[in-house]
Structure 1
Amino acid sequence: MADDDLAQIRAARLAQLKQQQGGAGAGEAGGDDEGQRRKQESEARSSMLNQILEPEAADRLGRIRMVKESRATDVENRLIMLARSGQLRQKVTEDQLKDMLASLSEHEKQTGHSVESVKVVRRGGWDDDDLDDLLNES
């Protein structure tokens, strides 16, 4: 990625941070301010993704979003994090995006669950049979 691209990404992030600080200091004036803030964040996010993705990769990510929005959001968050930390040296190609998706899928297979899943573990100790015994004693 060229220095001017990084400068644009940093400027977009700085504008986003300034917007967040301004909104937090003013308090919640109404739903319209919240909607406007979300719109600006979405625009900043889209701008950053346009700077770090080649058109083919952006198109693929859009198709993924139509099928599974949470997966696309996870990939976008990872890409933005990599760009902000300076780990992306050039625009991400479609093949690199495919590799990232494959590694996410492999990670889910290894762990046995997807990012969205929740495992419920119940504690032992209190059993319905114990309650029956207490009620039958009287």
Structure 2
Amino acid sequence: MSDEDLEQIRRARLQQLQQQGGGSQGQGGGGEGSEQESRQQQEANQRASLLDQILLPDAADRLGRIRLVKESRATDIENRLIMLARTGQLRQKVTEEQLKEILGAVAEQNEKEESKIVVERRGGGWDEDEELEELMKGV
């Protein structure tokens, strides 16, 4: 992967972050909407191009099937792959087996984030001890 490719990815990511941060800004003009659409299309093309460069065909097919089932999971995997490519941690194209490992890591990370359960009890109600005391008074 060349430095030029990495620079394009960085610029695209920066634009994406700026759009997310600015959310409702720039929604007023008619010309700005088509400019934003073309920018988003260009970013999508750059992502697709980079993924084509780093994925073997079997891995790309699996990622496509993942996207059909759960879009957010596929995006998480793509982001992780792009990050690995940017940091130079990919020495060769990603195989289907390596993609499965990444999928497992992303799924495990998401499970940890989603598995937090918070139990809140309502105050002022009866509990079992109070109920027993009341019943025993009547006997």
CA distance 1:15–1:77, shift in 2 (3 Å):
closer
Q: Percent identity?
A: 47
CA distance 1:33–1:128, shift in 2 (3 Å):
farther
TM-score (norm 1): 0.65
TM-score (norm 2): 0.65
Alpha-carbon distance between aligned partners in 2 of 1:128 and 1:32, rounded to the nearest angstrom: 58
CA RMSD of aligned residues (A): 3.3
- Structure 1 position 37, deviation (Å): 1.0
- Structure 1 position 123, deviation (Å): 7.6
Alpha-carbon distance between aligned partners in 1 of 2:72 and 2:15, rounded to the nearest angstrom: 25
Alpha-carbon distance between aligned partners in 1 of 2:104 and 2:45, rounded to the nearest angstrom: 28
Q: Specify the code of the residue in structure 1 equivalent to 2:12.
A: Q
1:54-133 equivalences under 5 Å are: 54-105=56-107, 107-108=108-109, 113=111, 117=114, 121=118, 127=123
- Structure 1 position 15, deviation (Å): 6.0
Structure 2 partner of 1:135: none
CA distance 1:119–1:99, shift in 2 (3 Å):
closer
Alpha-carbon distance between aligned partners in 2 of 1:99 and 1:118, rounded to the nearest angstrom: 21
CA distance 1:35–1:85, shift in 2 (3 Å):
same
Once the two structures are superposed, residues 16-48 of structure 1 have per-residue CA deviations (whole angstroms, 9 ceiling, x without a partner) of 37977xx99xx8352111111111110010011
Larger radius of gyration: 2
Task: Mark the runs of 5 or more structure 2 residues left unpaired by the alignment.
Answer: 126-139
Q: Specify the code of the residue in structure 2 equivalent to 1:9.
A: D
Alpha-carbon distance between aligned partners in 1 of 2:41 and 2:80, rounded to the nearest angstrom: 21
Matched, 1:10 2:12: no
Matched, 1:37 2:51: no
